[in-house]
């Protein structure tokens, strides 16, 4: 499960933009009407501890995630139901004043034979939900233009039943319908759109239990604070939360596992629940030995959260190690990071690394089965399939390779972040078993295993701007579509320190560009302007030219013979020798030189595909070469 862990620190403006992105992604019409609707809805949420706009952001994000996991066809009717479900998610607590409905089981007021797919759920006792529903209906009518759906009885029925069903007092009643659902398919969802949406929204409403423990614990204390529940001790709060998870959350998570074949949430819930249980057990032993009990500090919730987080893992009995089979490990390292740091002040380094972290997170968040485990200095550990025990390993491995391709293809953005054109990345990827657990003082999640060492060694032995993947990883995704976006090198055997002999392949970025390499910038720009049918990349540095040739593949390279009076011949020969060893494809290179003054150009023909005269109709010759070579591909 991929979460935006920083959502609690976002500004309202940032949340508004993120909401718009969510709504557009599911089919809402982008524009002023949608933005006005989102802004209006956000203004209706009060600044209260729990039922605030940050809780709604969490719910909407989770609903979208579950729809992705359904893996059903996006028919017209399902497309409309998805939009209505997301709208119900953003409105299901609208106008909440922080006062709960009267605590009782309201399901007794409903008929047992009620068909929630065809009949409106009417319950006048649910003051909050009825208010949420009324506001939602007004907003729907006012901003219907951005929905691109018709307003009819089915729309009203869907919105009514999905929002009313979120009341916790109706949980047992709603579970009786949810339990009767079949495994989700396109046909089944079209038959029971309301019931499936109720399942999604009810779990999304409680999804704080599926967040990292400190975030979950914070929400637990916030809801108690909002409801004026004053526990005398942390043990009382822990006991109450465990009961809540057992009664309300676990049944929903089990149903998601059965209906969607999505079991990862059970692992996360089990982990958070175990922390509460471990705290109770550890605290009970402490109370027996010294008679003390931890008080719940309502004025400093972070203090209470840290006590639980620390004590739950202090005993040796709680030390546990989890094995993750066939995970895909990815190690990233910034090239020239030490040299860059030596020229910067600490504040600027921190600010830049924060931007770099966001650069990575923006790309990682695209994939639900990839986690960034650690960023230490300039090294980053990313793992695919860590919590995907029931996912085919080729799926998350393809996602990791896709992620690496996205990162390496965007090196220029990275260089802008560091304001240094010499900065680049190296990446090593390997599939194998890893082990996870918590190391104490300070408590920290760690991954272990020889597979991580292999990925790290592969990274350290690859070229700047490239990716080095083990043969084990390559065999998993050899025929995947994503591999067509990379230039896969030859298999090489390397003796890696602490690992032994490993077979691997270097992967180079495949571009659809033409490279123009000339030390005169004006010449490069003129040629780039003339070559209209292909995007061009320009390089004016001798060293940079062959560095780029090693890490990328181009449709065609136009190479000037002299760079500041330096003849490229020796470097070209060296490149061709290197290419024959590591690359499985031949880079087309056209040498630009003066044939009249060049008596040895025949030697170049052994290492280039063509030689053209710079002194006679250069642009015409270049267009001829492109038409003959690229145009025919």
- 484-541: pLDDT as tens digits: 888 898 888 888 887 888 899 999 888 888 899 998 888 888 888 877 767 888 998 8
For residue 248, the surrounding DSSP H or E stretch is none
State the Cα torsion 227-229-230-232 to the nearest 10°: -160
Q: Which of 91-105, 342-356, 392-406 has the lowest mean pLDDT?
A: 91-105
47, 50, 55, 59 alpha-carbon torsion, rounded to 10°: -140
pLDDT of 317 strictly over 50: no
d(CA 162, CA 81): 11
pLDDT of residue 542: 83
Cα 118 to Cα 25, 134, 214, 411, 511, distances in angstroms: 29, 20, 41, 54, 54
Q: Residue 563: which H helix or E strand, with range?
A: strand 562-563
Banded model confidence at residue 212, pLDDT cuts 50, 70, 90: confident
Q: Which of 517, 538, 386 is nearest to 447 (CA)?
A: 386
Q: Which residue has better confidence, 199 or 261?
A: 199
Which domains are delineated in the chain? 1-193 (1.10.1300.10), 210-318 (no CATH), 322-510 (3.30.70.1230), 513-629 (3.40.50.2300)
Dump pLDDT digits (tens) for 567-579.
Answer: 888 899 999 999 8
pLDDT digits (tens, 9 = 90+) for 330-366: 999 999 999 999 999 999 999 999 999 999 988 988 8
Percent of all residues in the chain with a pLDDT value above 70, rounded to a whole number? 85
Whole-structure pTM value: 0.57
d(CA 241, CA 146): 40
Tens of pLDDT, residues 428-438 = 999 999 988 76
Q: Which of 92, 85, 95, 237 is nearest to 164 (CA)?
A: 92
Question: Residues 394, 480: contact at Cβ < 8 Å?
Answer: yes
Q: What are phi and psi of 585, to 5 degrees?
A: -125, 160
pLDDT above 90 (res 382): yes
pLDDT on residue 307? 59
Average pLDDT of the residues in 384-391 = 68
Q: Is the model more confident about 524 or about 40? A: 40
Distance CA 36, CA 41 (A): 9
What is the per-residue pLDDT for 320? 57
**Residue position matching structure tokens 């001790």:** 233
Residue 318 reports pLDDT greater than 50: no
Residue 44 has pLDDT above 90, yes or no: yes
For 627, the token pair is 């038409």
């Amino acid at each position: 499960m991929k979460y935006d862990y920083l959502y609690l620190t976002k500004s309202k403006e940032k949340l508004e933009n993120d909401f718009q992105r969510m709504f557009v992604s599911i089919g809402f019409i982008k524009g002023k009407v949608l933005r006005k609707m989102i802004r209006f809805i956000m203004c209706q949420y009060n600044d209260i501890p729990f039922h605030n706009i940050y809780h709604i952001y969490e719910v909407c994000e989770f609903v979208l995630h579950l729809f992705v996991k359904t893996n059903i066809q996006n028919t017209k009717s399902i497309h409309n139901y998805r939009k209505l479900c997301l709208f119900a998610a953003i409105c299901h607590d609208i106008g909440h004043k922080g006062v709960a409905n009267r605590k009782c089981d309201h399901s007794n007021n409903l008929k047992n034979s009620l068909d929630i797919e065809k009949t409106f759920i009417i319950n006048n006792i649910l003051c909050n939900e009825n208010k949420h529903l009324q506001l939602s209906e007004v907003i729907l009518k006012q901003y219907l233009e951005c929905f691109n759906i018709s307003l009819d009885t089915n729309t009203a029925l869907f919105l009514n039943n999905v929002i009313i069903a979120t009341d916790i007092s109706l949980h047992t009643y709603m579970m009786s319908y949810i339990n009767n659902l079949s495994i989700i398919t396109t046909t089944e969802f079209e038959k029971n759109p309301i019931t499936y949406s109720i399942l999604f929204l009810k779990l999304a409403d409680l999804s704080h239990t599926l967040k990292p423990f400190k975030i979950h614990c914070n929400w637990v204390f916030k809801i108690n604070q909002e409801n004026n529940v004053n526990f005398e001790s942390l043990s009382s709060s822990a006991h109450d939360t465990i009961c809540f998870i057992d009664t309300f959350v676990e049944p929903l998570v089990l149903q998601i596992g059965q209906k969607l074949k999505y079991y990862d949430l059970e692992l996360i819930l089990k982990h958070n629940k175990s922390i509460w249980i471990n705290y109770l057990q550890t605290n009970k032993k402490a109370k027996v030995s010294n008679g003390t009990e931890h008080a719940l500090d309502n004025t400093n919730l972070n203090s209470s959260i840290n006590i639980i987080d620390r004590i739950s893992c202090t005993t040796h009995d709680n030390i546990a190690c989890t094995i993750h089979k066939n995970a895909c490990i990815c190690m990233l390292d910034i090239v020239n990071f030490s040299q860059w740091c030596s020229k910067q002040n600490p504040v600027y380094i921190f600010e830049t690394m924060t931007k770099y972290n966001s650069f990575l997170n923006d790309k990682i968040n695209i994939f639900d089965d990839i986690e960034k485990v650690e960023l230490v200095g300039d090294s980053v550990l990313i793992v695919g399939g860590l919590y995907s025990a029931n996912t085919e390993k080729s799926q998350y491995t393809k996602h990791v390779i896709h992620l690496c391709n996205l990162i390496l293809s965007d090196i220029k953005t990275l260089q802008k972040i560091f304001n240094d054109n010499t900065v680049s990345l190296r990446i090593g990827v390997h599939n194998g078993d890893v082990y996870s657990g918590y190391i104490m003082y300070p408590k920290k999640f760690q991954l272990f295993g020889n597979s991580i060492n292999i990925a790290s060694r592969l990274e350290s032995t690859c070229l700047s701007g490239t990716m080095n993947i083990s043969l084990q990883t390559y065999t998993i995704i050899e025929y995947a579509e994503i591999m067509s976006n990379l230039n896969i090198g030859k298999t090489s055997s390397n003796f890696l320190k602490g690992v032994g002999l490993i077979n691997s392949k270097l992967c180079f970025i495949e571009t659809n560009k033409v490279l123009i390499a000339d030390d005169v910038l004006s010449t490069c720009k003129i040629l780039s302007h003339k070559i209209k049918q292909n995007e061009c990349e320009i390089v004016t540095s001798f060293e940079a030219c062959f560095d780029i040739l090693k890490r990328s593949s181009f449709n065609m390279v136009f190479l000037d013979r002299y760079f500041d009076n330096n003849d490229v011949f020796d470097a070209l020969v060296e490149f061709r020798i290197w290419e024959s060893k590591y690359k499985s494809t031949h880079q087309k290179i056209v040498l630009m030189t003066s044939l009249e003054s060049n008596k040895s150009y025949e030697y170049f023909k052994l290492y280039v595909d063509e030689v053209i005269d710079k002194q006679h109709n250069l642009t015409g010759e270049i267009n001829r070469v492109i038409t003959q070579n690229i145009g025919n591909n």
